[in-house]
Amino acid sequence: MARNLTFHIFRHNPADPASTPHMDTFVLNETAAMTLFIALNRIREEHDPGLQFDFCCRAGVCGSCAMVVNGRPALACHTKTRDLPESVTLLPLPFFKLVGDLSVDTGVWFREMYQRVESWIHTAKAFDPSKKEARMANATAEAIYELDRCIECGCCIAACGTARMREDFLGAAGLNRVARFRLDPRDERKDADYFHLIGDDAGIFGCMGLLACEDVCPKHLPLQDQLAALRRKMAGTALRRTLPFFRDVKKIRKK
Amino acid sequence: MQTIYTDLLCIGAGLAGERAAVEAAQAGLGVICISLVPARRSHSVCAQGGMQAALGNCAMGEGDSPDVHFADTVKGSDWGCDQEVARLFANTAPIEMRRLAHWGVPWNRVVPGVHTYYKGGKPFKKQEKKEHEGLIHARAFGGTAKWRTCYASDGAGHSVLYTMDNRAAQLGVAVHDRMEALSLIHDGHTCLGAVVRSLRTGELVAYMAKATLVATGGFGRIYRHSTNAVINDGGGHIAVLDTGVVPLGNMEAVQFHPTGIVPTDILVTEGCRGDGGTLLDVNQERFMQIYEPEKAELASRDVVSRWMVHHIRQGKGVPSAYGDHLWLDIRHLGQKHIRSKLREVDEICQSFLGIDPVRQLIPVRPTQHYSMGGVRTDKTGAAQGLKGLFSAGEAACWDMHGFNRLGGNSLAETVVAGGIVGQTIVEYIQGAEVSISTRTVADAVQRDQARIDALLQGRNGMENAYDVREAMFDVLEDAAGIYRNGADLERGVARLQEIHARARRIALRSNGLGANPELALALKLPGMVRLALCVAYGALNRTESRGSHTREDFPERNDRDWLNRTLATWPDGADLPRLTYEPASKVWPLPPGDRGYGGGTIIPATPTTAPAAGE
């Protein structure tokens, strides 16, 4: 028998002077193959046309619709109601600035992140339209794509213990971005360059290894492996910078 | 009210908009992109399959060239395209793919050796050459003579958009997200910018620019069942149509994609069929080879979609609670292939259908997918009717797609056209002096503010925005789907005219403050219905079948009377668009002929109407 679902939804419209943060309740009859995308649109069309939430692709690839679903950051579009209890609590993602109700401002944060980690290929080579493309091993291309798959939904940051404590933390999404460019042979940056970007507590050394980022990542990115590898590389880079002795050891070993 | 000045205003920050923005920023110009969503959420990100470009690196692409790509594109368009544009596109695409590789796209690469591939459900062998190792690889797509579609797994759109946005960030292109253009500011001769509503605060902002680019993607969301993102509601087209002087081209040419999943209409890529997937009916039997012995599942999208609906009408559909559908079978491609090269498909099946495509069939049906029609531009991307206005990508009718677009050609078009139109814009701005009358700006803003005030004060009437939208969906579904006929279209146009009147009587039920979604819809809906009327009225008047436009009562492709492009303008206060026609192409290197798939008869051009070959 179809269930009646009760949705408890966070409400606040900062543009309305009369609005104060509170929870509203809506009841919907569950339908076959219902997702939170379907449910929220029905609530908006049938109950409260002012309800704010974000969807774009509604197919799990654009990252717009991340929200906290019964305590856990998730993409609403591919959350099926049949996997949820009859009572569903929806909150906006923490950490990001609230736009209204379930809608938060991820765009500005992510744009600042690209500028911070210089999220582009650093190369001295100029593009020559008369030449064939530079070759690359297919395995390398696939490995880059694997990390390039982040959709910037913000779930990892919303679930992050460090991000709760310091708002300048790059988070798994930012650090994964660095890992993606480190892997790319077209990018000529060295670990010493990356160290300047992420070699502090707002970067890789802020990560406490709590693993929540990977737990909630809707694209199942191998975030912890990447963060652990980065931390080792950056720690090594730090040691080499601070302790000349390490350089000498390396030289001796080479000999 | 805030006024912002810049050299180039890009309305839309998807691939076409950002590619043009990058071109302008590289030339040292100031660029602002406004976008409904953060740039990387643009609908470009959803493109799975890839980009066509005749690189000829892979075994099955050997002998490919821009000439072959050009011919495929013109045939695919059913001779409805501008052949100068198709030629420019085919020649430029390989350079753009290499440029993207230089900027950071991880295209899949050639792996030498013997590989198995599937066609029509059966395995075949091919040998990739050692000397091509590491060059950009390509996969098969419908309607192409060669494997030509460059891909990054099945996330090509994602990879390319992220790379492009990185490049834009590097060059300092400003993206103002959560901003929606309501109307263009113009004086009847020159476009001066746009009136924009903040989707954070609800406030209006005037953006003044020497050049304005409309790159807002398609308008698929005027249909109920669409693969398009929810932002693809035609906002850019509406602003252009409402100038009254800039035409929209070929609005009746609406593409249906064969494989939207049931019930949610999410697309699974044509790469599924390109990589050897097959379509099955209720008896789990293949059927496309019955209708298209040569191309089978890899005929063009219009053809495959029509045969699917035809087959369902023969009683061979799979019954479901959401209506009849067919099956897409990719099981024989194997787990390794599906979990790597069709990874998004795998995720979509698991997340939205709860099925595993390695072991189970995917329920599919044709779904609205692409708008061949759009802002009519010349081959440089300049819009007809207003100086300083440009358009690129799906929003434009630049017109390399004519009446049917080949898969893999639109994603490629975004960057190729973005680059070319970006160049045009740079040259235009460098030679342009714009004088902006503050009166013109104030009037434009005042008009939109008055519309908002009327809605906030409930002065228009009592209609419910969502009910009006449903009514529009119903009409388009009935009258302007895959198969069309005169009687349904005539009724549809009349009903849409009534709905247009209702759309202007909407009352808000919420307070409309801030980023209110009901107000956004109420502001847009009359324009959406006008777009729907351009589609239906254009379809009613085009008494032939060409590409995706199929008239049951006029089944022939009629080159004698209809080798042309529809132009729709909307005079102020009218309740129907004004239609005029122009020749489909100025030159005809490839004179109209048989496509080689799709069947159907052709009424040939008469000596007086025949285009001259080889110009």
DSSP states of B265-333:
--B--THHHHTT-EEE-TTS-B-HHHH-TTTGGGS-HHHHHHHHHHHIIIIISBP-TT--BEEEE-GGG
Question: How is residue B146 written in tokens?
Answer: 């060669």
- How far apart CA A247 and CA A220 sit, in angstroms, is 38
Q: Could you tell me the pLDDT band of residue A129, with boundaries at 50, 70 and 90?
A: very high
Which amino acid does the sequence have at A41?
A: N
pLDDT in tens, A75-85: 999 999 999 99
**Cβ separation B104–A137 shorter than 8 A:** no
DSSP helix/strand/coil, B551:
strand
DSSP helix/strand/coil, A211:
coil
Which among B91, B160, B230 is the top mutation candidate for probing chain A, defined by the most A β-carbons within 10 Å of its own β-carbon?
Answer: B230
So what's the pLDDT on residue B129? 96
Which chain A residues are within 8 Å of B98, Cβ to Cβ? 127, 129, 131-133
**Cβ separation B108–A54 shorter than 8 A:** no
So what's the pLDDT on residue B581? 98
**Cβ separation B102–A64 shorter than 8 A:** no
Catalytic residue among B19, B139, B273, B301: B301
Contacts of A44 by beta carbon, 8 Å cutoff, 6+ apart: A51, A53, B517, B518
Give the one of A35, A50, A138 whose C-beta lies nearest to B108's C-beta. Answer: A138
Which chain A residues are within 8 Å of B165, Cβ to Cβ? 114
DSSP helix/strand/coil, B132:
helix
So what's the pLDDT on residue B45? 96
Q: Could you tell me the pLDDT band of residue A253, with boundaries at 50, 70 and 90?
A: low
Percentage of chain A with pLDDT > 90?
91
Give the one of B95, B159, B508 whose C-beta lies nearest to A129's C-beta. Answer: B95
Q: Max Cα separation, chain A? A: 76
CA triple B611-B612-B615, angle to 5 deg: 125
**Cβ separation B321–A32 shorter than 8 A:** yes
Give the one of A33, A99, A120 whose C-beta lies nearest to B200's C-beta. Answer: A99
Identify the DSSP state of B435. Answer: -
**CA of B340: which chain A residue's CA is closest?**
A142
- How far apart CA B108 and CA B151 sit, in angstroms, is 6
Which chain B residues are within 8 Å of A187, Cβ to Cβ? 104
User: In angstroms, what is the C-alpha Rg of chain B?
Assistant: 23
So what's the pLDDT on residue B446? 97
Annotated catalytic, B565?
no
So what's the pLDDT on residue A249? 62
Q: What is the mean pLDDT of each run of 10 residues along chain B (615 residues)?
A: 95 98 98 98 95 97 97 97 98 98 98 94 95 97 94 95 98 97 96 97 97 98 96 98 98 96 91 94 96 92 94 95 94 94 91 93 96 98 98 98 96 98 97 87 96 95 97 96 97 98 97 96 98 98 97 97 98 96 97 89 88 66
CA distance B305 to chain A (A): 22
CA triple B134-B135-B140, angle to 5 deg: 115
Which among A111, A115, A186 is the top mutation candidate for probing chain B, defined by the most B β-carbons within 10 Å of its own β-carbon?
Answer: A111
Which amino acid does the sequence have at B250?
A: N
* CA distance to A8, A84, A173, per residue, from A159 (Å): 20, 19, 12
So what's the pLDDT on residue A2? 85
Nearest to B401 by CA among B73, B116, B11: B73
- Crossing angle of the two packed helices B83-103 and B156-170, in degrees rounded to 10: 70
Q: Could you tell me the pLDDT band of residue A252, with boundaries at 50, 70 and 90?
A: low
**Cβ separation A78–B99 shorter than 8 A:** no
Only one residue has tokens 């198969």, namely B483
Q: How many CB pairs lie under 8 A apart between chains A and B?
A: 194
Contacts of A123 by beta carbon, 8 Å cutoff, 6+ apart: A186, A187, A188, B102
Residue A245 has pLDDT above 70, yes or no: no
**Cβ separation A141–B514 shorter than 8 A:** no
CA distance B480 to chain A (A): 24
Contacts 24+ apart (CB under 8 A), B473-480: B473/B222, B473/B223, B473/B224, B474/B224, B475/B499, B475/B532, B475/B536, B476/B222, B476/B223, B476/B224, B476/B532, B476/B535, B476/B536, B477/B223, B477/B224, B477/B225, B479/B536, B479/B539, B480/B252, B480/B254, B480/B532, B480/B535, B480/B536, B480/B539
A107-135 mean pLDDT:
96
So what's the pLDDT on residue B609? 80
CA distance A118 to chain B (A): 7
**CA of A134: which chain B residue's CA is closest?**
B135
Percentage of chain A with pLDDT > 70?
95
**Cβ separation B108–A135 shorter than 8 A:** no
Which chain B residues are within 8 Å of A78, Cβ to Cβ? 351-352
Domains, in order of start, for chain A = 4-103 (3.10.20.30), 118-244 (1.10.1060.10)
Give the one of A49, A107, A134 whose C-beta lies nearest to B178's C-beta. Answer: A107
CA distance B4 to chain A (A): 19
* CA distance to B73, B476, B535, per residue, from B471 (Å): 36, 9, 16
- The CATH class that applies to domain B255-369 reads alpha beta
**CA of B352: which chain A residue's CA is closest?**
A78
**Cβ separation A142–B153 shorter than 8 A:** yes
Q: Could you tell me the pLDDT band of residue A132, with boundaries at 50, 70 and 90?
A: very high
State the average pLDDT for chain A. 94
Which among A53, A149, A184 is the top mutation candidate for probing chain B, defined by the most B β-carbons within 10 Å of its own β-carbon?
Answer: A149
Which chain B residues are within 8 Å of A63, Cβ to Cβ? 40-41
CA dihedral A18, A21, A23, A28 (to 10 degrees): 60
Which chain A residues are within 8 Å of B175, Cβ to Cβ? 107, 111
How are strands ordered across the β-sheet holding B326-329? Answer: B254-261, B362-371, B326-329, B278-280
**What are the boundaries of each domain within chain B?**
255-369
**Cβ separation A64–B45 shorter than 8 A:** no
User: In angstroms, what is the C-alpha Rg of chain A?
Assistant: 22
**Cβ separation B175–A107 shorter than 8 A:** yes
**Cβ separation A99–B515 shorter than 8 A:** yes
Strand bridging mode B602-603 / B557-558:
parallel
Q: How far is CA B74 from the centre of its chain?
A: 17
Q: Are the CB atoms for B290 and B281 separated by under 8 Å?
A: no
DSSP states of A57-119:
SSSSSS-TTEEEETTEEEESTT-BGGGS-SEEEEE--SSSEEEETTEEE-HHHHHHHHHHHT-
Q: How many CB atoms lie within 10 A of CB B134?
A: 18
- How far apart CA A131 and CA A148 sit, in angstroms, is 26
Only one residue has tokens 């379930």, namely A102
